[in-house]
Amino acid sequence: MSTTTTTTTATDLPTARLSLAPQQPSVKFEPVHPTFGAEVQGVDFSKPITEDVMENIRQGLGKYGMLVFRNTGMSDQEFVDWGGRFGEIAEVPPSRRFPTQGLSDPSNLYLDGSIVKPGELRWFMAKETGLFHVDTSYDARRVRLTAIIARQLPPPGTGGATEFGDTRTAYDDLDEETKQLLEDKVGVHSHFHSRRVALPTFPTFAALDPWDYPMHKHKVVVTHRGSNRKDLYIASHLHHIEGMDPAESDALILRLRKMVEQPKYVTKVYYKQPGDVVVWDNTAVVHRAGGGEGEGWAGKYVRDIRKWMVFDNTPEEWGMNEVGTPKHLAGPIIQAKHDEIYGKDTKVFDFDED
C-alpha cells in the first residue's frame, strides 16, 4: 500500500480562488489504496468549514473517489448541513428513529431499539447491501455522492466495515474490444432485481418480478466529472443492457461485476469510533457492506450508521430517463408481499432504499 501523502494547498487552486484567499490552509490526503481512496487530515469539524477548505475536499474527492474523515464530532444536523455544501441533498422518507431530515437509516435497529435478527424480513433485505452497487441507479434521477456517519459500532474485530471498488481503474484495464462494445450502451436498473441477485430463492423476492415494476436507464460507461476519467457505472441493481440478447447481457454484466470485485481494485474502510465519516462518489466507485469477522456482529451488536446522499447535479443526472420522473420505493411493496406470504410482520423499521 502506498504511504505517500498528497497535500492540496492554495497553489493547486484556480487563480480566481487564490485572489480571494491567498493564505489558504492545507488539507492532507493519505492514500488508503494504490489507485483510489484517501484518509483526510487537517479538517477541524468543530469550527465552521471555510469555502477554501471545502474546495480542497471537493478536489480530493475528485481525485480519490472516496474519502475518510476520523472522529469528526458532527451531530446529525451538522452532518446534513455539511452534505448540503456539496449539492442538493436527495429527498428520503423522514426517519421515525431520529428527527433530522435528509438522513436515511441503514442501521440494524428497529424503531424500539432492538437488533435485527436472522430470519426477519429486514435481515433478508439487508443481504442486497452486501453486493457491490452504486446508490439509486434504479431511480430515474441518480445521486452522485453518498456519505455515512458512524453513531454506534459493533466491537472491534467483529466486522462492520464498508468495502469499495475502483470502477475507474477497472475500466482503464478493460481490453479495447470490450471498451468499444460498452461505448454508448445503456444499462437498465431495478431494485427488485438486486434483491433477487442477493437471495434468488427467498420466496418474497422470487414472487416480485422486476419486469412488473419501473426500471430506469443510465449509460454503462460514464465520464467522472471530478477527474474526467471514464467509469463503469455498474451495480447489483443492473438488470440488463438495452438492445442485447438476454443471455449475452447477463454474461457481460456478470463479467464486469467480477472484474470490479478483484482484490486489486478493492479496499475496506473500518469505522473506528462514533463520528467517523466516509464520503464517496458513486460515479467513481462501487461499495458494499462488509461481512462479519471473528464472531461476527450481525444479529448480536448494534451497528448504527446514518446516511445522506447528494444528487448528481450534472447533465447526466437523469440518465436516459424523463426528467421529473418520481422516485419509486421498493421497500413498502416488498413488505406487503412478505406479509401476504408469511402473515403480517410485527417488526417495524424505516425503509432504507440502499
Q: What sections of 35-130 are H helices per DSSP?
A: 51-64, 76-84, 121-126
Averaged over 249-276, what is the pLDDT?
A: 97
Total domains in the fold of the chain: 1
Range of the domain at 189: 65-342
- Least confident residue range of 145-149, 271-275, 328-332: 328-332
Q: Do the bridges between strand 66-69 and strand 38-41 make them parallel or antiparallel, or are there none, so unpaired?
A: parallel
- CB contact at 8 A, 221 and 168: no
Burial class (CB in 10 A: 0-12, 13-18, 19+), 83: buried
pLDDT computed for residue 341 by the predictor: 92
- Least confident residue range of 49-58, 113-122, 129-138, 270-279: 113-122
Does residue 213 fall inside a structural domain?
yes
Does residue 41 fall inside a structural domain?
no
pLDDT computed for residue 353 by the predictor: 53
Does residue 354 fall inside a structural domain?
no
CATH code, 81: 3.60.130.10
Query: Taking 80 as the threshold, does the pLDDT of residue 351 lie above it?
Result: no
Does residue 40 fall inside a structural domain?
no
Query: Taking 50 as the threshold, does the pLDDT of residue 18 lie above it?
Result: no
Taking only the tens place, the pLDDT of each residue in 83-115 is 999 999 998 888 889 999 999 999 999 988 999
Taking only the tens place, the pLDDT of each residue in 190-233 is 999 999 999 999 999 999 999 999 999 999 999 999 999 999 99
Taking only the tens place, the pLDDT of each residue in 265-288 is 999 999 999 999 999 999 999 999
Kindly report the average pLDDT of the chain as a whole number. 90
Grid look-up 449539492 returns 87
Does residue 291 fall inside a structural domain?
yes
End-to-end CA distance of the chain: 30
Phi-psi region of 88 (alpha: psi -120 to 50; beta: other; left: phi over 0): beta
